[in-house]
Each structure stands twice: as C-alpha cells, then as structure tokens.
Structure 1
Amino acid sequence: MATQDADTGSSGYRSTLPWKIITWAAEYIDRRIGWDRLPVPLGLLNVLGLRVSLRRHNLQDTSQLPSVNLPEVEPPTESHRINRTADGSYNDLKNPRMGMAGSRFGRNIPLHKIAPNTPEDVLGTPDPREVSRTLLTRTEFVPATGANSLLAAWLQFMVRDWLSHGKSPTENPWEVPLLEGDTWPERPMYIMRTPDDPTRDPAAPPETPMTHVNEFSHWWDGSQIYGANAEQQRHRRTGELGKLHVGDDEQLPFPGAPGEDPARVPGFWLGLAMMQTLFTREHNAICDHLHTTYPAWGDEEIFQRARLVNAALLAKIHTVEWTPAVISHPTTVTALHANWWGIAGERVSNLFGRISDSEIISGIPGSETDHYGVPYSLTEEFAAVYRMHPLIRDEWHFRAAADDGTLREANFREISGPEALKVLDTIPMSDLFYSFGTLTPGLVTLHNFPKFLQEYERPDGHLQDLAATDILRNRELGIPRYNEFRRLLRLKPAASFEDLTDNKMWAREIRKIYRDDIEKVDLMVGMYAERRPAGFAFSDTAFRIFILMASRRLNSDRFFTEYYTPEVYSKAGMKWIEDNSFGTVLLRHHPELRSSLSLVKNPFATWNITEGGKRAHKEEQTT
C-alpha cells in the first residue's frame, strides 16, 4: 500500500507553502543542530515542523492489505454515537471497525521496508541472548534521577490499555542458541512466537507485508479497567449507579472473572495492581459525583459518562504529567502541555475554553477529528519504542508514609505474579504509593535491564529472558535495525560505533558483538546507547515516534475531539477532567500522602521524604 499524504487531511495549514518551508527547515536544522539545542520558542517550532513531516511520511495503513474473517459490524446506533463500546468499535462512525480489538497494527515505516523475519534474520549473529547478556544485563543500578517509580507502574498500566499481540502459541517456538558458558537451564532457549494474523488472506501473494492484530482496542479508552469486550465489561460492573466492583476494603476483588485471574497473566506485578485499583476507585468516585449532580440518571447513563471522564483523565495525566516527567526537557514539557491546552495555555483554557479552532492555539481536545489520510491504529514501531523495562528496579524498599519507617525489603520477583497479592494484603496502599513515589526508576540505557526480568518465571512456569525476548520480538515483527530506522524517520544514521554513542567503552562492546557491522545494530541497542537530550529518560530516536503518535491518539479519537463536549460528557464530567490531575486523584483516595506531595509539581517526580523519618537515600543521590 502506498503512503497516503497527510496534506489531503482537513487541517489546511499543512498544505500551505509556509508550512512546507517550515517542515523542510525543521528537518535540516534538526540534523545540523538538534531541536533540543535550540531556545524553547525555536525548539517548539522545530518540533511542530517535525510532527507535520512525520504525519506526511510515517503513517502507513495495513488494514487495506488482503484480509478475511473480519467481524460483522452493524450500522451505528444512537448509543454508539455517544458511548464508547467495550471493544473499541464505532469510534469512527463511518468506519466502525477502525481501531477495534482484533484489528491490525499499522506501521510508521513504508510497508516495503518491513524487515524480513527469517530464522537467519531473527536468530542470526549476534543472537538475542548474546545481546542480552553482553549489552543489557544490569551490573549496577543506573537511576533516572528526579523521577519516581510510579513512572514504571503507570507505563505498564497504559500498555495494558493500548496493545497486546495476544497469547503466543506453544508449538514451534523460536530456538535461540546458547554460547558456551551460558548458565540458562535449558538448551536451546525457547521463545514463543507472536501469534499469526487471523485476518490475513491465505491467498495473498507471498510478498504481501507481514501483519499482526492487536488483542486490545487501539483507542485510549481505559479498556484495562473496563474490559476489552462486552463479557469482561459486564463482569466488572455492579449494575448499580454505574459502579465497578471493588472489595469491602476498597481494593480490587482479586481474582477477577473466571479465566481472568490477573496474578496468572504474564506481566502482572504490584505497580500494575496499584494503578488498576486507584483508577477503579476513581471511576466509582466519578459515579458518585454524577449521581449527586444528576439524580435522575440510571446505572447505564452514569457508567457511560463516568467511563468517558475517567478515560479522558487518564489521557490528560499521561499527556501533561507522565510524559513531561520522562522527557523533561523544557521544550518537550511546553509542547506536551500545548497538545492538551494549546499554546494559549491551561489558564486561558480553564477561563475561556477554546479560543480558536486550531489545535496549535487551543489544543487537541475539542478540535476537529483528523486521521491525516490514514485510518487510525497503533503501530508496531510504537510498541517497539515503548519497550522500557529498564525503568523497573530490582530491589524495593517499602516504607510507611507516616514516618518513613521500614516495612519490608523485597526484590522484583517478590512483588510480581501471585506474590504481589500477598504484598497488597500486608502493606496499606498509601504506604505502597509513598514507597514508589520516593524510589527512583531506572534509566532506559545499556547495562540497566532488571536482572529479575532476565530470569522471569511466567505464571505457566516457563522461564523467560525478557531482554532477549525484546530483541527477538523487534526482529520478528520486522522492525528495522537502528540505522535504517533512523533513515526512515529522516534522521542521520550513525556513521560509526563512536558516532553511535559517546561512551567509548560501549562503542567497543557494541562493535565487538556486532562484528564491526554498524548496520546490524538492533534498534533497542542503538536507542539505549545514543546520547539523550537533557532531561530525557530514553532516547531521541524513540522520541520521534512520540512526536507523531502522542498527538495522533488524541486527534483521531472523536471522544477527544469533536465529541469532547458537555453534551456528550456532561458539564459535571467536563469540569471533573478540567479540575483533576494525578495528584488530586492520589489525594482523594489517599489523603495521608498530602505531606509527601506538598510542593511537588509533578507526582511522577521524586516525592518528599516524610519529616521526622528522613534517612540517607544513597541510591537516590547517585548521579
């Protein structure tokens, strides 16, 4: 399928000569100087130009490739117009399948540039296990100073809403060879394959680009809270006043529905449980508020409005709090706030609402829906750059919010899977949030992959090296290697290993393992090794996908654009989104944290250590 040029979209500024000049200039200046080295106003203009260029060149549609077994979709009803569906269907009323659960991942690279995934390409030198052991293993924890470990918990909470390639088949796994001296308990190492695309037409020509489907809805709709289908959603609802089930102690009723025990799902851990619990309780708080304001509303009306409000609040928190914490350069912080409020700013938005139809001036929420000429979906490249396991610590020190007193020490294995439920039973939730808020996450860099995730025992008992799996998964899904990836984003490739990284030791290590071939360096290795802009916890290369997809997830979703109105959300619902943040959510449900959060501008930044219980956080003082 050919690239569809976003110049044909509805936002006219993109097709004007001045904007074409700006995009050309943005790419030129970015290659010669770097957006992050410019003064903030010029940096903002440069990033805006890069976004327009990325929208023109890096949105690729896989839904038009030959397909079979597509679900039957009836014409939309009035309910579809004003409510989010459980599976994400009908978000686009003219194309009801767009972005629904079971639809394909798109791409941010030309389809003919998808890398082959033959055994030689996926397992070839260096094999994924060799990369994991040599370049990724955490030898000493490298902290992302200034941030806290709620970053890691939030990220996985979001990923559980956005994407999943589904449960891997157990037959015909990838067989990863092991070098002499490798202590892995089985030979060879087995890594399960990504499931095949059930909608791929078996009669399609062999050269048809590979595709895979997303088990979840592609939309930012809170499906990790509400369920990915109608059956899951029914099980989670109480049927009274719009609310979701919680236990008597306001904790989630683990286990969930039959067959949905979260502790038996790969990737379940304490941080995920904390976020799941917090925003289930937030949904119920929104329901209480709506019931008080609109007492005539029934269960269904309250549930649907509360879901819209909660999902929008999640999107707002991610846009203006989480992402600015993980990429805290002054230019990116300003740009992300402008995504939500526009360059007019939050104060103008709160006082006067939208003062312009332009998303640049008044932000994306409430603007016109725009797919930029390509049906909306999340992409394989988006999934690739969100592989940020180094954010997770290996060692956890749980302390009381009241006096900073030690409650217990634990390693990651002791707070994941079924063990996480034991922690939830023994440590109050407010103390868990306090502990996460005062512990730094890891920096997304080489030699900082959590050691317990390199020996991760899945709920089915299968032992997995997630670092090797991440490397293999990118290769299997046709993600280009680092240099080619940069070329496809119109970035300069690394001319040498010394050009790739300013760490001379890393350059030697990467050169050795990739046998002097700079073109073979995996995307993840290159991103973890390259120079990061000031304030960034991850790479500038990954940031290019963020520039494109962070706004696209809002622009394409009509519930964040033309349907982001009091008529759909209710006036009380819109006010709830406007007035709340991650900090207010935490304090609503855990007022004991007020002292720790006082004067903390962003709750994903390091919290205050409780007065009277201060101690030396040696790890937090590491630079």
Structure 2
Amino acid sequence: MVRSAELCGTGLTSLAGGRLVAREQVNALTAYIDGSQIYGSSVELARHLRAKSSPDRGLLKTNIVDGREYLPLSEEHPMDCQLQPRSGGGGGKGSGSGSGAGGLMDCFLAGDHRANEHIGLLVMHNLWLRQHNRLAQELRRLHPDWNGERLYQETKLIVGAQLQLITYRDWLPKIIGKRAMTRLLGPYRGYNASIDASISNVFATAAMRFGHTLVRSELVRKLLMRKKEKTTVSAGVSSSGNQTKAHHQKDDHPNMNLRALFFASHLLYEPALVDSLLIGLAATPLKRPGLAEQAISAELTEHLFERSREAPLDLASLNIQRGRDHALPTYNSWRRFCGLKEAATFEELPIGNSSTTVRRKLARLYGSTENLDLWVGGILEEIIPEEDGSLPKVGATFRCLLSEQFRRLRDGDRHWFEAEGIFTPNQRAELERSTSLAEIVCANSDGGRAADSQFPVDAFLLPNDEGNPLVNCASLPKLDLSKW
C-alpha cells in the first residue's frame, strides 16, 4: 500500500516551519455533486475534455466508432489505465487502439482518472458523456444565437442538477433508509454559506466504502450472459422477443467474473456491450448487505486488479490500512460522535445474534473493542428493516456519517439545483418531473430509442410487475428544454 500524499505543511513537511502539524491528506476531486466525473476537477482537464473541433457547439470531446459516441482516448493526459504485466506496461497514458488481453488496452479520458478501472464504471462515464452532448445539441437547436461557452455551461448546470436529483431522490433513500432521510438529512432550507461542504476524511476513507460490500462476485458474468437470451427487457432490446443486431454477435466472454473486467477498457468497443451491461445493472440484484460471515466478495480480496499486476490486491486490507494511514478514530469513537451506544465488549457489537464466530475472530485480532477499525465495525453492523419492509444498505454508524456528509454537500452548495437563482421555478419543476436514470439510459444507450425498448421505471430497483414495472422507453417523461 502506498500512503496518501500529505498536504504540504502538515506531517513531516511541517517540520520545515519549526512546528509539528498533524498530517492531512489532499483531496484531488471536487466535493460537490457537480458532474466533475464528467467535466473534470481542474481547469486544465475541463478544457482538455471539451471538443476543440466544434467550439461553438458546447460539446465534449468524443471518439466516433461505427457512428456511435465514445469517450475520447486519453492520449497524453494521465489516466489510471494499468496494462497487463505480460504486455510489458505499467499504468498511465493511453495507448491508442488496443487489442485487449493480448496487448495494450485502450485508455479512455474522462473527468475522473479512475474511469478505466472497471468496464461497468466506464459504461456509466460513456452514458453521461452522451447525455451532455445530446442536451447541448438540443439547446443549440433551440438557441442558435447562443455561443459555445453558454451552451456548455447551461448544459453542465442541467446535467449537474440531474445528478443531484438522481442521487438524493432516487438513490440515497435506498442506502440510508427513509427514516434517516427525514430525521438525519431533513428538508432543504436553502443555501447556507456557513456550511463547509468539503468531503470529510471519515466519509472518503471509511463510510462511503460501504459500497464494496455490495459487489457480487459474478455480477458481470450475469450481465454478459443475458445477451444470449431471446427475450430480453432493456434499453436497446426488443421486448417482443425479436433479436436485435446485438444478439447475432458471438459471446466471446462466457463465465466472466469480476476479476476479468478490471482495466478491460477495450471491451467498450464490443458490439452491444453498452446495452448488455445496462441490462444487467438494472436487472441483477446487489450482494446482500449485512452478512457478517461474508462481508466482501473474494473477487475484491483475492483477485483485485490481478490481470494488471504481478500480484493481486486485497481491497478489504487496503480499506483498513487507509483508515490507519489517515489516522481515523476507532469504531467506538464514531459511535460516540453519532450519539450511539458504544460496545464495551465484543458481545455488545451490534452485528446480529448469529455472528458468534465473527465476534471470536474480532476478539482475537483486536483484543479490545476500543481498537476496532471503523470500516470493519461499520460493514459488520446489523441492518434494521424499514417500517415498509425495505432494507437499507448500511447500519446505524455509517447511516449517521453518510447523512452528515450528504446534508453538508446539499446545504453548502451554492449551485444546488433548488438554491435561489440557479433555475427558474418552471425549470426546476421540469427537472423534477422528467429526471430519472431510466430515461437517461434509454435516451443514450445504443438501442434505447427503438420503438419497443423497455426499462424499469426505477433503475435502482429490480424490475417487477407491481412496484417497479417495465415500461416502454418512449413513455418515460423527457426533459422539455423549451423551458430554457
């Protein structure tokens, strides 16, 4: 493990100033939910991502293959795109058109340098690139007098609002639960200039890493195998059972598990892969949270990045060591911070009554509950169902820490979509009416505009005939840009 870079003037570097200052780490990304993963977190990267060939259109740079928009290749801009050891490479810069397993990989450019780490992540980056360019082109049609800078900025503001809506309205309640949304997050009361919206160390280093426990070991295999089905329900696939062009493609990746898709960015060009992944992301359940005996998949602890390194990494160990690297207080300290009962003994840990073996292991490794790492204690906590029977994805401690961060991100953001002066009342109402991840998937996937393409109304829930039916993409509410 490589230690996080220290902020100049803290840690060892503070000795140059004649006094010792506690080590602090640098956050290289913007804290706000502002689409920085699409547009970049620096002026230099933001400029590099914009299309220079059509500056009057406000578009992002793309790579056109077979008439479809893809992320641009990274060229000389640094991206985390690790090559396989057998190919003789390391990480860093793009390699042009790669051949995948036998040679160098394509390395794509996005607003976040980690975009190439996994093909599922890369597909989502590609989706939002297309969303920006689609909206910018529509705005240009409506406003031929707008210059490229205004088209870019107006589109960026709209996309940022859509990300905020999807995150807070559609995703976050499923993570922390409806009760926490009401009691801990509370309603929006306007921009508060006194609130610091920075990302807290505990959020980045422990609490938000709960997501690692939801990753299934065979998630990607299930997605790709769905291409073989004659009747598949998704954006880009006929609900009537008629095979699209994608179904005539040879499935070159049978039984692919998670380890095979790390830094496999060359797969983005595979015919129908974008739609195939989007199918499964909506139709495949997450790994069940709160299982103490199997908290994290072996794909992440035994096989992480193994195709791009001489030896695989262990994500659980990295998370524990990162918390120590950043000097996070222990589990009980954060229980105190959140006003929750501390665990004086391992028998008092709130991890469920069936976890005797886990308690014994923790006692042997840590000796005292006062030594327990936050990430370990947090992911093991028992999850209490909501009154309606739904199951949040985190226990009480992480629920507290996530709520605190997301409240500050919202209330301390002067560009929050509900803040006064950002949008007109009509524009805000239109965004709330029309925004959904389902519509964005349908509008930007390769086959989502087909007449009989279907997708679940709520992209974060499994499709079913009752609460989350499959609907035609054409029936989903669409953003009316005439309000702009």
Change (3 A) 1:402 1:538: farther
CA deviation map 1:368-410 (0-9, x unaligned): 33434xx431110111201131222221212138624895331
TM-score when normalising by structure 2: 0.72
Change (3 A) 1:457 1:368: closer
Change (3 A) 1:257 1:307: farther
Change (3 A) 1:211 1:333: closer
Change (3 A) 1:422 1:504: same
2:234 is the alignment partner of 1:378: no
**In 2, are the aligned partners of 1:237 and 1:245 still within 8 Å (CA)?**
yes
Q: Which residue pairs with 1:140 in the alignment?
A: none
Change (3 A) 1:252 1:464: same
**In 1, are the aligned partners of 2:300 and 2:315 still within 8 Å (CA)?**
yes
2:231 is the alignment partner of 1:403: yes
TM-score when normalising by structure 1: 0.57
Q: Which residue pairs with 2:192 in the alignment?
A: 369
CA deviation map 1:438-461 (0-9, x unaligned): 112223443232323223237565
Amino acid at match of 2:305: E
Q: Which residue pairs with 2:364 in the alignment?
A: 512
Q: Which residue pairs with 2:280 in the alignment?
A: 435
Amino acid at match of 1:194: S
Change (3 A) 1:394 1:254: farther
**In 1, are the aligned partners of 2:165 and 2:435 still within 8 Å (CA)?**
no
CA distance in 2, matches of 1:312, 1:570: 14
**In 2, are the aligned partners of 1:371 and 1:552 still within 8 Å (CA)?**
no
Q: Any gaps of 5 or more consecutive residues in structure 2?
A: 83-112, 233-246, 386-390, 471-484
CA distance in 2, matches of 1:379, 1:453: 25
**In 1, are the aligned partners of 2:267 and 2:273 still within 8 Å (CA)?**
no
CA deviation map 1:150-171 (0-9, x unaligned): xxxxxxxxxxxxxxxxxxxxxx
Change (3 A) 1:576 1:290: farther
CA distance in 2, matches of 1:490, 1:461: 45
Q: Which residue pairs with 2:304 in the alignment?
A: 456
CA deviation map 1:525-560 (0-9, x unaligned): 211222212112222101111221112111111111
Change (3 A) 1:377 1:202: farther
CA distance in 2, matches of 1:478, 1:569: 45
Change (3 A) 1:530 1:193: same
Q: 1:285 aligns with which of 134, 145, 149?
A: 134
CA distance in 2, matches of 1:606, 1:519: 39
DSSP 3-state at the match of 1:244: coil
CA deviation map 1:269-325 (0-9, x unaligned): 012111101111111122123223322101000101111111121111111111123
Q: Which residue pairs with 2:460 in the alignment?
A: 604
Instruction: Report the Cα offset of residue 225 of structure 1.
Output: 0.7
CA deviation map 1:483-515 (0-9, x unaligned): 122112222111221210222232222222223
Instruction: Report the Cα offset of residue 561 of structure 1.
Output: 6.6
Amino acid at match of 1:273: L
Amino acid at match of 2:256: A
Amino acid at match of 1:195: A
Amino acid at match of 2:194: H
Change (3 A) 1:313 1:461: farther
**In 2, are the aligned partners of 1:483 and 1:494 still within 8 Å (CA)?**
yes
Q: Which residue pairs with 2:108 in the alignment?
A: none
Q: Which residue pairs with 2:393 in the alignment?
A: 537
Q: Which residue pairs with 1:260 in the alignment?
A: 78
CA distance in 2, matches of 1:512, 1:231: 50
Tell me the C-alpha RMSD between the 2 structures: 3.1
2:259 is the alignment partner of 1:413: yes
Q: Which residue pairs with 2:2 in the alignment?
A: 192
Q: 1:242 aligns with which of 55, 58, 61?
A: 58
**In 2, are the aligned partners of 1:483 and 1:519 still within 8 Å (CA)?**
yes
Q: Which residue pairs with 1:227 in the alignment?
A: 40
CA distance in 2, matches of 1:301, 1:585: 22
2:328 is the alignment partner of 1:479: yes
CA distance in 1, matches of 2:152, 2:443: 20
DSSP 3-state at the match of 1:597: strand
Q: Tell me the percent identity.
A: 23
CA deviation map 1:311-342 (0-9, x unaligned): 12111111111112333x44246669x86xxx
CA distance in 1, matches of 2:455, 2:418: 35
**In 1, are the aligned partners of 2:330 and 2:372 still within 8 Å (CA)?**
yes
My pick for the range that moved more, 237-246 or 553-562, is 553-562
Instruction: Report the Cα offset of residue 247 of structure 1.
Output: 2.8
Instruction: Report the Cα offset of residue 218 of structure 1.
Output: 2.0
Amino acid at match of 1:448: A
2:179 is the alignment partner of 1:331: yes
CA distance in 2, matches of 1:402, 1:369: 53
Change (3 A) 1:424 1:574: farther
CA distance in 2, matches of 1:193, 1:603: 37
**In 1, are the aligned partners of 2:71 and 2:126 still within 8 Å (CA)?**
no
CA distance in 2, matches of 1:532, 1:295: 53
CA deviation map 1:16-75 (0-9, x unaligned): xxxxxxxxxxxxxxxxxxxxxxxxxxxxxxxxxxxxxxxxxxxxxxxxxxxxxxxxxxxx
Change (3 A) 1:241 1:326: same
DSSP 3-state at the match of 1:198: coil
Change (3 A) 1:318 1:595: same
CA distance in 1, matches of 2:418, 2:152: 21
CA deviation map 1:72-93 (0-9, x unaligned): xxxxxxxxxxxxxxxxxxxxxx
DSSP 3-state at the match of 2:256: strand
Instruction: Report the Cα offset of residue 198 of structure 1.
Output: 2.2
CA deviation map 1:85-126 (0-9, x unaligned): xxxxxxxxxxxxxxxxxxxxxxxxxxxxxxxxxxxxxxxxxx
Change (3 A) 1:426 1:562: closer
Instruction: Report the Cα offset of residue 210 of structure 1.
Output: 2.3
Q: Which residue pairs with 1:49 in the alignment?
A: none
Amino acid at match of 2:365: I
Answer 1 or 2: higher relative contact order, Cα 8 Å, separation at least 6. Answer: 1
DSSP 3-state at the match of 2:63: coil
Amino acid at match of 2:31: H
DSSP 3-state at the match of 2:68: coil
Amino acid at match of 2:199: L
Q: 1:494 aligns with which of 318, 332, 343?
A: 343
CA distance in 1, matches of 2:182, 2:141: 36
Amino acid at match of 1:390: T
CA distance in 2, matches of 1:569, 1:235: 31
Q: Any gaps of 5 or more consecutive residues in structure 1?
A: 1-190, 340-359, 612-623
DSSP 3-state at the match of 1:386: helix
Change (3 A) 1:257 1:303: farther
Instruction: Report the Cα offset of residue 424 of structure 1.
Output: 4.3
Change (3 A) 1:539 1:280: same
Aligned residues: 388
Q: Which residue pairs with 2:125 in the alignment?
A: 276
Change (3 A) 1:573 1:244: farther
